[in-house]
Every structure is written in structure tokens, then in C-alpha cells.
Structure 1
Amino acid sequence: MSTNLIEFKDVSFRYGEDQPWVLKNVSFTIDEDEWVAIIGHNGSGKSTIAKLINGLLFPQEGEILIDGKKVTEDSIWDIRKDVGMVFQNPDNQFVGATVQDDVAFGMENRGISRETMVERIESTLNAVGMKDYLLTEPHRLSGGQKQRVAIASVLAISPKVLILDEATAMLDPNGRKEIMQTVSGLQDRQGLSLITITHDLQEVVQADRVLVMNGGQIWDEAEPRKIFAKKEELREIGLDVPFVAILADALLDAGITIAHEPLNHEELLEDLWTLHSKT
């Protein structure tokens, strides 16, 4: 039975007393092993949520619980043992002279034994497909390879939650696809709770649930299919919908009825094939 791993209770935050509220009375939960995508236009508060979960920021009102522990300045180092975060630009996270040094850094700070460190370096780099780059200097890696190492560095500390804050934004489509396939596989194998903050709709449709932020509040939350069924409402708050959903609407306007709201091309083709088989 799933239990709440992350809980926001009426959380409000602003970047200064004379500044507007970035988040206002935000409440939600995220379960163990759940993949939640957080979307919204720029300034809607989604990246602020990520920083609050990781203790980079603290709310002015409300409280945040991670695995039952309240996020405070006193608890923050315990919280960060459970929460790993990968940012948009992996260069900002590199601290080691080689790939293995970088993966070892977080573990060294936590006093993990050398024997365990060696095992985790090997297992995490193998998990992200970078085991052959152990002694490579990070600056010699491609963007996708750097992001894989950044993910391995976070996984090495064995977090319960992995946050990707626009982590694929700087990659080409193939790079984004490869990273998300890697992360999805790791989540399945390691039982991670995964939070992705992204503008990439192909990432969003893979999630178990979507939180839609608008004006510092939760506009809606549901599974991706139900969210993207609200096409016009999403456009009104400045968000896009997947191309396949637009295509499905065009087919409907042409008199071709689709059985359900498709999330990808495979689902749309299957619906069309089923429809064709019945005619």
C-alpha cells in the first residue's frame, strides 16, 4: 500500500516581503514510487516547489513533510539524504576531476565507507550507461553524458526522491528520450519517487500524475490523460497540449471518432486500426 512520502500543507512562499507570492496556500501529496510531473508557465511556481522540497528554500507559511520529517533548517541535512536533485545545466553540479570523483563526492560528504563507495560508483554508472567513462574528465563528455553522470551522482546517495528540474531542457530530442528512458527504468528498479519539472510534453505523458501550476496555485491535478483532455482550458493558461491530442481533435472534426483521449502516436494508431477493423 502506497504511503505519502512528500506532503505540502498550505505552503506559501515569496522571494522578499515586498514581493508577490510565488506560491499561495499550496497543498498536495506525493506517494512512494510515484512519478509526478509538475507543469506550468514560467513564473507559475513549479521550480520553487522543487527547491522547497530539497530545502534550498523554506516556506514563509505552511509546512513541508518528507517521509514524515518536517523540513526546517535543523532537519535539512537529514532531508537531503532522502532527496536528490538534478538541474538543467549539469556543469553546475560537477565538482570532481573525473567521473568517478564526481560520483564519489556526495558519498564522501556523508561518511560512507570506501568499500560501499566503490560498489555504488560501479552500480550507478552502470545503471545510467556510463561505466566505461570512469576516469574521463567531465568537460570531455557530451550534454547527454554529463546529465547521465549527474543522475548517477545523485543516485549514489540512495535517495528516496529524485527531482529533475528541467534536466533535459538543454538536450536534443534523442538525448531527452534516452535520459527519460534511463530514469524511468531506474524508478521501476529502485522504487524511487520521481518528480519531473518540464516543458516537454512527451515527458509529462509518461508520469503517473500531473500537477498543473498557475499563478502560484494548483490549477488541477490528475493523470495525464484527464489533464490533456482539457485542451482549451490549458491553452487559456498558456500551456501547450501534445500534438497527438490536436490531431485527434482534427479527426473528430472530420467525423472520425476516437475511442479515448490518446497520449501518444501508438495509442492513436491503435484506435484508428480498431476503428478500421470494424468498418
Structure 2
Amino acid sequence: MSEQVEFRNVSFRYQEDAPRVLKDVDFSIDRGEWVAIIGHNGSGKSTIAKLMNGLLFAESGEVRVSGEVIGEENVWDVRKQVGMVFQNPDNQFVGTTVRDDVAFGMENRGIPREDMLRKVPESLKAVQMEAYEEHEPHRLSGGQKQRVAIAGVLAVAPDYMILDEATAMLDPKGRQEILETVRNVQQESDLTLITITHDLNEIVAADRVIVMNEGEVWFEGTPREVFSHKEALSRIGLDVPFVAKLTEELRSQGVHVKEEPLNHEEMVEELWNLRSKM
């Protein structure tokens, strides 16, 4: 059985007389990868997330999860494999306590009580929220709420997890903490992680990036390869991170920066290496 998410020439529109939101989109995501799907508002990236989870169905083409074409007859089976964390975690909370909320998805699937008692603390520990089992979800901070939402998805052990703009409502510190959390979870559990975002700062840790523009795959490559297209990214409405802008400015001043630094630490290391050769 194929352990992939596959889009095969997928097109989609929300209304019959409306323009297509996706146009012959074609890509695959392998088991265990972290793939970031990025694009400006209206580029089709969130529609892709909903097609992966069976919240929408392709107008033409095929969306496959682990070899199965997603359709109305198997959508509930697909959702057992593909968990989704949305932008606003309040929309996902149903329990009166953190523990109840994390247990909700398992209850719906008929998981035995003894397994639930084991999985709830395990899932909360994975996102550093084990001390908050008895807290009310709505009293938590934004970052804590997203951690609980992620724990709720982890508890049902999906093969694929989608974060659809899951850090958009957080401050920079909260965003970084959530990205570090999901990276740790992904590495420990061999989870396939798909992050949907418009923020280029969030793609640095991904294995691969798919850049969407006007409903089409505009570019596909590593984060470093994406950052090498600064001017083109700006033209399609994506704000290039400060480190990438600084790299471009240094090069324009005759400073030979070899690679595309992905973060401040890499930039400092590159400049230190250049200084040591002077």
C-alpha cells in the first residue's frame, strides 16, 4: 500500500460558475515528511488542506491517501488517517476540561477506556501540557490552546497531521514554540506533517516546500531553494524573511554569502566564516 498523500491533476471550484481555485494541481507527500504548503491569501493552499481531509471533494482529478482515492464512501476512514488542526483552536474544543477535550475524539471512535486513560496523558506530555489536564480549555493562552488541539489529534494516532494556518493567531514566540513542538512530535512518531501557511518564516524547518500561486504549484523545493527566489516570491505576494533580505543586501555590497542562510544563527555562522578568511 502506498504511504503517500497524492494530488493527481486536481482541480476545484466552490461554485459551478466561479473560477477554479485549484488548476490541475499535481504533487505527492511521502510518509514521514514535513511539507510546508505556502502561498498568499487565495492561492488555494487551504483548499488543498480540506481536500486532503475529505471536507471537500475534487471537481476533477484524484486525491489519494495511502493509495485510496478520497470519496464520499470512504471519507470517514480517511479522516481516521488524516488529522487536522485549524487556525482557531476554540472551534475544536468540546470538552469542559483539557482531559475531556483530548479524550473526545477517542470516545467517538470507540477506543477502550483503559487505552484512553493511557493515551490522554501521553498526548498531553508530547506537547508539554500534562500539567493542565483539569484546566478549562477556554482559559488557556493561544499557544496553550493550540498545543491541546494538537494533543487531541495525536491521541487518535493519525498517519498524517495537517496544521491549517494553526499559528496565524499567535505572537512570534508562540509560533516558534508550536513549530518546535510539532517538529519534536513528528520526529518521535514518524508522523507525516503538512503545514499550511502564508508566512515564509515558518517553512525553515520543513523538509520540502510547495509554493502555490493562483491555484497552481508555482515552485517546489527545499526551504533554501525557495529563499533563493526572493524577487519572484515578492512578486507573487509573499513577504521574504529578514535574513533573506539581509543576504541580498550583503551580496549587493560585494559580500560573498555562499548559501542562503535560513535563520539568524546560520547568518552569523556564515559571516563569522567570511571574517575568519579575511
Amino acid in structure 2 at the alignment position of 1:137: E
TM-score, structure 1 length as denominator? Answer: 0.97
Aligned-residue offset at 1:254 = 1.2
1:161 aligns with 2:145: no
Please give the per-residue CA displacement for 1:109-134, whole angstroms capped at 9, x wherever unaligned.
11100011111101000111111111
Please give the per-residue CA displacement for 1:204-258, whole angstroms capped at 9, x wherever unaligned.
1111111110110101100111111011111111112121111011111111111
TM-score, structure 2 length as denominator? Answer: 0.98
Structure 1's consecutive aligned runs of 4 or more residues displaced over 6 angstroms after TM superposition are: none
Amino acid in structure 1 at the alignment position of 2:59: Q
Amino acid in structure 2 at the alignment position of 1:67: S
Match of 2:176 in 1: 177
Match of 1:88 in 2: 87
Match of 2:252 in 1: 253
* Structure-2 separation of matches of 1:11 and 1:248: 37
1:11-90 to structure 2, matched below 5 A, reads 11-90=10-89
Please give the per-residue CA displacement for 1:14-47, whole angstroms capped at 9, x wherever unaligned.
0010111000111100001101111111101000
CA contact (8 A) 1:248 1:258 kept: yes
Give the number of aligned pairs: 277
Please give the per-residue CA displacement for 1:124-178, whole angstroms capped at 9, x wherever unaligned.
0011111111111111111111111000000000001110011011111111111
Partner of 2:11, secondary structure, is strand
CA contact (8 A) 1:166 1:198 kept: yes
Structure 1 pair 4–115 and aligned structure 2 pair: CA distance change class (3 A): closer
Match of 2:229 in 1: 230
* Structure-2 separation of matches of 1:53 and 1:209: 18
1:137-156 to structure 2, matched below 5 A, reads 137-156=136-155
Match of 1:105 in 2: 104
CA contact (8 A) 2:36 2:194 kept: yes
Amino acid in structure 1 at the alignment position of 2:54: G
* Structure-1 separation of matches of 2:244 and 2:171: 23
Aligned-residue offset at 1:4 = 4.6
Partner of 2:42, secondary structure, is coil
Aligned-residue offset at 1:201 = 2.2
Partner of 1:252, secondary structure, is helix
* Structure-2 separation of matches of 1:158 and 1:185: 15
Partner of 2:198, secondary structure, is coil
Q: Aligned Cα RMSD in Å? A: 0.9
CA contact (8 A) 2:4 2:66 kept: yes
Aligned-residue offset at 1:202 = 2.2
Amino acid in structure 2 at the alignment position of 1:178: E
* Structure-2 separation of matches of 1:59 and 1:36: 21
Please give the per-residue CA displacement for 1:46-95, whole angstroms capped at 9, x wherever unaligned.
00000000000001101111011110011011101110100000000001
1:275 aligns with 2:274: yes
Match of 2:129 in 1: 130
Partner of 2:210, secondary structure, is strand
Partner of 1:152, secondary structure, is helix
1:214 aligns with 2:216: no
* Structure-2 separation of matches of 1:171 and 1:234: 24
CA contact (8 A) 1:39 1:199 kept: yes
CA contact (8 A) 2:38 2:199 kept: no
CA contact (8 A) 1:4 1:29 kept: no
Specify every segment of 5 or more residues in structure 1 that has no aligned partner in the other structure, as ranges.
Answer: none
Specify every segment of 5 or more residues in structure 2 that has no aligned partner in the other structure, as ranges.
Answer: none
* Structure-2 separation of matches of 1:189 and 1:251: 38
Amino acid in structure 2 at the alignment position of 1:248: T
CA contact (8 A) 1:8 1:29 kept: yes
